[in-house]
Each structure stands twice: as C-alpha cells, then as structure tokens.
C-alpha cells in the first residue's frame, strides 16, 4: 500500500513525533528508522515526499537523497532534508543532489505541516493511503521512414492504445499473447499516415471476442468513419483475415468525456497542419497527456501565438507528458511552422508546467541513435536549466515504464 510521506530518521522519538504531526494534519505517513531500508521503502510505498535526516548511521541522508534523485523510478519524489545543524557544505551538496526543501530541527510544530503543504499540497484521501493508481506505459516501434512508435497505457485493468502506427501489429500480438484484455480504447490523434499505418494490421481486429473503441476526430471535409475506412484499406498489409472484433467508433472534439467511473478523456486541438488532437487521459487519479504531433513556439512565440499557454493549462502538473520532440534545436530552426517541436522547447514547456515525467516522441526517423542520445541530453540540460528534476527519455522500441 502506498503512503504520502516516508520519514527516514534513526531517532525513533523524533521520527514518531514527525509521524504524529503529519498524521494529525491528514497525511498518511510511515517511519523508517533503519536508513538501509530507506530506498526500498520509497520504491515500495511510492510516497510523494521523503523526509530525510541528514546525519544517520548506516547510510547517511545525502547518499539516500542522491539514490532517490538519480533512480528514474523515484526521481520525481520530493525530498525534504531535515537537520539540527546546518553545515554549509552539506547543504550545498544536498541542493546539488536535488533536495526540494530544508527543515531545521527542532520543528516548529505549528509551521511544520504548513511547510509540508507548500511543498506537496493538501493531503490526498482521508487519513488513509494514497489512492493513486500505477500506470504502465509501453512502446513498440520500428525505426523506419513513416514509422512513429505505438504506445499503450494500462491502469485499473483498462488498456489504451495511443495511435495505430506501424508498431500496432507487434503491440496487438503481445496483448493477445498476454490475454489480460478483451477490450481496449484506441485514441487516434489525427489521420496522417504515420499514425494509422498499423491500423489494418492490428491483430485485435481479427478477434471475435475483442471489443475495440476507436476514438478520434473528424476532419472538416471527412467524417471519422470515412477516414478510418480509408486508413484501414491502405494498411491491411499481408493480414487478409476478416475483421471480427466488435468495433465502436466515437468522434470527439475539444470537450471532456467520462468513459467510465474514474476514467475520463479530454481531447484538445494541437498545433499541427491537419485536424489533430492531443489527449488528457485521467485514470484512477493519474493524468497522462499524449500529444505526439504539435508545435510549441517556446520563447519565439509572438503575442498572437498563445498555443503554449493554452495547452499549458491542460498539461499542468500531469503525471506523465508524452510530447512531440521531433527535432534537435538546430534542425528545428529549418522546420519552423511545420507542426513539430524541438526537444528543448518540449522540455522547457514540461518544466514550466510542472509535469512529473516527460517522454519525447516522434523523433525524426532519419536520426541515428547517437542523435537520439544527444536529444535526450539536450532535453535534460534544458530541464536542469529551469532548475527542475523531471525524469525524461526519448521513446524507443521496447520502452516500459511504470508511474
């Protein structure tokens, strides 16, 4: 079971006092007195905040801080450093490792819960455990021209497929092999070929017992049903078996739709040459934003270009942002106003909107691996330049992530 706060303190008296105060303020919290168990507890409980005593036997607080902030599984967890003495050198080190707050011992009992709330907000869930669900994200994709990775997100026993690009065939085959799902939602952002080129080859379509909801936009001159038919016939490939699944098509626009309890999608219009959507997906308390084809203007935005600001409001504090990161900064200069973003603009946008995890998708298919690595490094540098610690990666075939 998750908790909101993990307290790491070798002194049980002080630790229990912190525990009581935080519980009285409505947070769920757990005390760890053996510093060697700190990291495994953090991974297991997935707290929003870790309070770390700096001077402890076993492993010291700074090493634990460093481990938490450098592990992609825990890097987004906030860490408050607690200390009776303030040694300047240690504070500097804690800061450089990514500490989010410093609290001086002994606590001011009145101020202490307030300080915590300024860092992580109000308690979630009544005096209980954190109700946030784990979302699993995976990617399939081949590095070929017109190939964009195909992603799926799973939570609460539900499956979402994000666009039907070429990787959809492999994704579908894996889903059938696993046998956990008989129903899925396919979210289509738009009908450019690289986003539907795997549609006709999606193995789920040939399963009589499968129920597929296809969600996407219509274009001004063409309804979604016609667009799907066209995409389907173009992408049948070698699989000529008849389509047997139950398929329901839902045309959506910039609105918010409750698909089931605890499950909501809010499409929004992206900045891309054809009618293109991005999706905010809310699943059991988690918010995932998927926006693979869109152009952020970044600092070059003119007064009339308010796209970044508008979408920033949708993206704000999302648990995961999967965003267009097609170009290196240098190449983007040659591709302005074509409807794709640079990794640096995407990273700065994620930082400005306090996103918790960033995946960059849709890198130009002509880029070799070395360029993808450089893009990842550039994005990380841009995040650091904004003073934030947001885990970030370029989507590649085989990516598997739990948040």
- Alpha helix locations (H) across 216-340? 224-234, 307-315, 329-332
Please report how close the Cβ of residue 221 comes to Zn ion at its closest, in angstroms.
17
Question: Contact between 308 and Zn ion (CB under 5 A)?
Answer: no
Burial of 395 from C-beta contacts in 10 A (0-12 / 13-18 / 19+)? buried
Contact region with Zn ion (CB under 5 A), list: 15-23, 184-192, 228-236, 322-330: 184-192
Q: CA Rg, the chain, in Å?
A: 23
Minimal distance in Å, beta carbon 293 to Zn ion? Answer: 4
- The SS3 call for residue 35 is helix
Residue 48 found at the interface with Zn ion (CB under 5 A): no
Taking every pair of C-alpha atoms in the chain, what is the biggest distance, in angstroms?
A: 72
- Select the residue interacting with Zn ion from 4, 9, 163, 293 (CB under 5 A): 293
Using CB under 5 A as the binding rule, whether residue 295 contacts Zn ion is answered as no
Distances 346 to 15, 190, 305 between C-alpha atoms, Å: 41, 20, 16
- CB nearer Zn ion, residue 293 or residue 348: 293
CB 52 within 8 A of CB 64: yes
- With binding defined as CB under 5 A, does residue 46 bind Zn ion? no
> What are the backbone dihedrals phi and psi of residue 117, each rounded to the nearest 5 degrees, phi first?
-65, -35
Decide: is 282 part of the binding site for Zn ion (CB under 5 A). Answer: no
For residue 305 the two structure tokens come to 């270009």
Query: By CB under 5 A, is residue 378 in contact with Zn ion?
Result: no
Question: Residue 326 interacts with Zn ion (CB under 5 A)?
Answer: no
Beta carbon of residue 391, minimum distance to Zn ion (angstroms, whole number): 26
Burial group, residue 149, by CB count within 10 angstroms (0-12, 13-18, 19+):
buried
- Contact with Zn ion (CB under 5 A): which of 66, 132, 166, 192? 192
CB of residue 142 to Zn ion, shortest distance in Å: 17
Q: Pull the structure tokens for residue 311.
A: 């979408």
Stretch touching Zn ion by CB under 5 A, among 147-155, 186-194, 218-226, 325-333: 186-194
End-to-end CA distance of the chain: 15
Residues 234-253 that bind Zn ion (CB under 5 A): none
Sheet holding 400-402, edge to edge: 246-251, 211-216, 183-187, 158-162, 150-155, 136-140, 400-402
Q: Does 163 bind Zn ion (CB under 5 A)?
A: no
To the nearest whole angstrom, how small is the minimum distance from the Cβ of residue 192 to Zn ion?
3
Point out which span in 91-99, 159-167, 185-193, 204-212 binds Zn ion (CB under 5 A).
185-193
CB of 231 to Zn ion, least distance (A): 13
Distances (CA, A) of 6 to 30, 78, 81, 115, 314: 5, 10, 12, 16, 30
CB atoms under 10 Å from CB of 320, counted, come to 23
Single out the segment in contact with Zn ion by CB under 5 A; choices: 97-105, 192-200, 263-271, 362-370: 192-200
| Binding window for Zn ion (CB under 5 A); candidates: 78-86, 210-218, 227-235, 288-296 | 288-296
Residue 239 CB-density burial (10 A; 0-12 exposed, 13-18 middle, 19+ buried): middle
Under rule CB under 5 A, which residues in 70-129 are in contact with Zn ion? none
Q: How far is the CB of 194 from Zn ion (least distance, A)?
A: 7
| Contact (Cβ atoms closer than 8 angstroms) between residue 382 and residue 344 | yes
| Residue 373: CB minimum distance to Zn ion, A | 24
Strand partners of residue 268: 278
Q: Which is nearer to Zn ion, 107 or 307 (CB)?
A: 307
The closest residue (CB) to Zn ion is 192
**Minimal distance, residue 191 CB to Zn ion, in Å:** 9
Query: Residue 183 or residue 364: which is nearer to Zn ion going by CB?
Result: 364
Region of 57-65, 174-182, 189-197, 246-254 interacting with Zn ion (CB under 5 A): 189-197
Stretch that binds Zn ion, among 35-43, 54-62, 156-164, 191-199 (CB under 5 A): 191-199
The yes or no reply on residue 69 touching Zn ion (CB under 5 A) is no
Euclidean distance between CA atoms 80 and 152, whole angstroms: 34
Query: C-beta of 280: minimal distance to Zn ion in Å?
Result: 19
Binding positions for Zn ion, rule: CB under 5 A: 192, 293
């Amino acid at each position: 079971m998750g908790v909101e706060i993990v307290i790491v303190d070798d002194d049980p008296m002080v630790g229990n006092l912190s525990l009581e105060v935080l519980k009285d303020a409505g947070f769920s919290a757990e005390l760890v007195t053996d510093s060697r168990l700190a990291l495994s507890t953090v991974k297991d409980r997935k707290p929003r905040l870790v309070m770390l005593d700096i001077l402890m036997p076993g492993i010291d607080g700074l090493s634990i801080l460093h481990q938490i902030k450098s592990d992609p599984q825990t890097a987004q967890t906030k860490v408050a450093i607690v200390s009776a003495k303030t040694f300047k050198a240690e504070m500097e080190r804690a800061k450089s490792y990514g500490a989010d707050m410093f609290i001086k011992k002994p606590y001011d009992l009145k101020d202490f819960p307030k300080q915590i709330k300024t860092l992580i907000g109000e308690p979630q869930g009544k005096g209980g455990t954190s109700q946030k669900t784990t979302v699993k994200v995976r990617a399939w994709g081949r590095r070929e021209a017109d190939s964009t990775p195909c992603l799926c997100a799973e939570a609460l026993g539900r499956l979402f497929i994000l666009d039907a690009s070429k990787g959809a065939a492999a994704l579908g085959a894996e889903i059938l092999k696993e046998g956990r799902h008989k129903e899925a939602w396919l979210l289509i952002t738009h009908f450019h070929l690289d986003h539907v080129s795997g549609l006709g080859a999606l193995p789920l379509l040939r399963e009589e017992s499968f129920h597929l909801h296809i969600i996407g936009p219509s274009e001004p001159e063409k309804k979604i049903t016609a667009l799907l038919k066209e995409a389907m016939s173009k992408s049948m490939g070698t699989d000529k078996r008849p389509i047997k699944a139950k398929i329901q098509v839902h045309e959506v626009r910039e609105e918010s739709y409750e698909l089931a309890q605890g499950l909501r999608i809010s499409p929004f219009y992206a900045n891309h040459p054809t009618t293109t959507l991005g999706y905010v997906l809310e699943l059991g308390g988690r918010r995932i934003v998927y926006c693979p084809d869109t152009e952020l203007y970044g600092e070059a935005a003119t007064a009339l270009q308010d796209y970044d600001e508008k979408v920033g409001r949708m993206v704000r504090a999302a648990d995961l942002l999967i965003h267009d990161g097609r170009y290196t900064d240098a190449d983007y200069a040659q591709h302005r106003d074509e409807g794709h973003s640079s990794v640096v603009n995407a990273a700065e946008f994620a930082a400005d909107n306090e996103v918790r995890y960033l995946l960059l998708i849709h890198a130009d298919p002509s880029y070799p691996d070395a360029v993808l690595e450089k893009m990842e490094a550039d994005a990380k540098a841009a995040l650091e330049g904004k003073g934030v610690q947001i885990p970030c990666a370029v989507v590649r075939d085989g990516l598997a992530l739990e948040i």
